[in-house]
C-alpha cells in the first residue's frame, strides 16, 4: 500500500529545500532591505537562520523579528508563540478551513499546508512587500490550498460567506512596536470571528508584548467566547485560545497535545507548550483588577493604546 500523503509531504519538503538552497551561500548580515509604508522591511541571515525584520523607517530600530526560518529545517517553528498557537489543534485536530490574519514569513501557514493535505489555508496581509519577501526568501509557494490576499484582515473576513465556517482563525498581526492594531482587539471583531467559526472551532490570538493592555483584551474576548485559555510566555507574547466548546481540563489538553505530537512526529514539543496554558483564575495579577478593566469596542480607542 502506498502512503500518498507521506509521499506528498516528502515531495513538498524537498521542493522547499530546493527553493531556499541558494540562501546557504549568502553571507551573514542584511541580504535584503526595502522601505514599505512607515516601515523598513529587512531580511537578515545569521548562519543557518533567516530573520524577517520590520523596522521603523526613521530610526531603523526594532526589537521584534517577524519570522525566523531555519534553513536546515524549514518546518521547525522556532518562536515559542508559534508553537503555542498550534494548540488550536487540540480543539480541531483535523481542520479543513484555516484563516490567518498576518502572513509575515509564512511559517505558520506553511506548517498547516504541509501537515494537513485536505485543509484550505487562507491568509491576509496588508503589505505586499512582506508577502513577496516570504515567497522569494522564505520558500513560500502559493497554490489552491495556500492563498494570501493583500487586504485588511478584518475587512476580508467580513466579506466572506458566513455559512462557510472556519475551523481555526489565527490573529497574528501587529506593529513592530508590539501592539495589535486596535480594530483587531475589539468586541465587534471577536463577534465577527465567532460568526465565521465552526461549532467546535478555535480562535487564536497573539497579543504580542504590551502587557498593560493584554488583560483588557482578554476580558473583551471573554464577552464573546465561553472558554478562554491563556499562555503568557517568557518572550512576552500572550497567546489566547478562545472557544465556545465545553471546558477542557489541563490533563485533557496535555493528552490531546501528546496525541497530536506523536501522530505528526513533530520536531518540537507541543506537550511542553500545553503545560503553560492557564485559566483566568490562575492569573491573580489580572483577577484583582478585572472589574476595573475596560471592554474594547470600535467606538473608542483607549488613551495611550498607540503611544
In a structure prediction context, what are the per-residue pLDDT tens digits for the chain, which is 307 residues long? Answer: 445 455 566 677 888 889 999 999 999 999 999 988 777 899 999 999 999 988 766 665 555 678 999 999 999 999 999 999 999 999 999 999 999 999 999 999 999 999 999 999 999 999 999 999 999 999 999 999 999 999 999 999 999 999 999 999 999 987 655 678 899 999 999 999 999 999 999 999 998 756 778 899 999 999 999 999 999 887 778 899 999 999 999 999 999 999 999 999 988 889 999 999 999 899 988 889 899 999 999 998 888 787 6
Cell of 244: 465556545
Helix axes 187-196, 211-222, angle to 10 degrees: 50
Q: Which domains does the chain have, with CATH numbers?
A: 4-70 (no CATH), 80-292 (3.40.50.150)
Closest CA to 138 of 27, 44, 19: 19
Closest CA to 64 of 175, 172, 183, 139: 175
Kind of pairing between the strands at 97-101 and 120-125: parallel
User: What span, in angstroms and rounded, lies between the C-alpha atoms of 132 and 105?
Assistant: 9
Question: Residue 305 contacts by C-beta under 8 Å, 6 or more apart in sequence?
Answer: 179, 182, 213
112: which DSSP letter?
Answer: H
Question: Residue 87 contacts by C-beta under 8 Å, 6 or more apart in sequence?
Answer: 229, 241, 253, 257, 270, 273, 274, 277
* pTM: predicted TM-score of the whole model, two decimal places: 0.93
Amino acid at each position: 500500500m502506498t502512503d500518498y500523503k507521506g509521499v506528498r509531504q516528502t515531495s513538498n519538503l524537498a521542493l522547499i529545500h530546493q527553493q531556499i538552497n541558494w540562501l546557504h551561500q549568502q553571507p551573514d548580515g542584511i541580504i535584503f532591505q526595502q522601505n514599505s509604508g512607515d516601515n523598513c522591511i529587512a531580511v537578515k541571515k545569521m548562519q543557518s537562520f533567516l530573520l524577517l525584520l520590520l523596522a521603523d523607517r526613521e530610526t531603523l530600530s526594532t526589537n521584534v523579528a517577524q519570522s525566523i526560518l531555519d534553513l536546515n529545517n524549514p518546518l521547525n517553528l522556532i518562536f515559542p508563540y508559534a508553537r503555542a498557537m498550534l494548540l488550536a489543534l487540540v480543539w480541531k485536530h483535523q481542520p479543513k478551513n484555516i484563516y490567518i490574519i498576518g502572513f509575515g514569513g509564512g511559517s505558520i501557514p506553511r506548517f498547516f499546508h504541509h501537515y494537513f493535505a485536505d485543509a484550505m489555508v487562507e491568509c491576509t496581509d496588508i503589505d505586499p512587500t512582506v508577502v513577496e519577501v516570504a515567497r522569494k526568501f522564505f520558500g513560500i509557494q502559493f497554490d489552491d490550498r495556500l492563498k494570501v490576499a493583500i487586504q485588511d484582515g478584518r475587512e476580508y473576513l467580513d466579506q466572506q460567506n458566513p455559512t462557510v465556517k472556519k475551523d481555526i482563525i489565527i490573529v497574528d498581526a501587529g506593529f513592530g512596536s508590539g501592539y495589535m492594531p486596535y480594530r483587531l482587539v475589539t468586541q465587534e471583531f471577536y463577534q465577527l470571528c465567532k460568526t465565521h467559526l465552526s461549532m467546535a472551532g478555535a480562535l487564536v490570538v497573539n497579543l504580542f508584548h504590551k502587557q498593560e493592555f493584554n488583560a483588557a483584551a482578554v476580558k473583551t474576548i471573554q464577552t464573546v467566547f465561553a472558554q478562554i485559555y491563556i499562555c503568557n510566555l517568557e518572550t512576552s507574547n500572550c497567546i489566547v485560545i478562545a472557544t465556545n466548546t465545553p471546558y477542557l481540563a489541563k490533563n485533557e489538553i496535555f493528552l490531546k497535545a501528546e496525541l497530536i505530537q506523536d501522530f505528526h512526529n513533530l520536531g518540537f514539543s507541543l506537550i511542553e507548550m500545553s503545560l503553560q496554558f492557564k485559566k483566568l483564575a490562575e492569573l491573580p495579577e489580572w483577577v484583582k483588577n478585572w472589574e476595573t478593566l475596560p471592554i474594547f469596542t470600535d467606538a473608542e480607542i483607549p488613551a495611550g493604546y498607540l503611544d
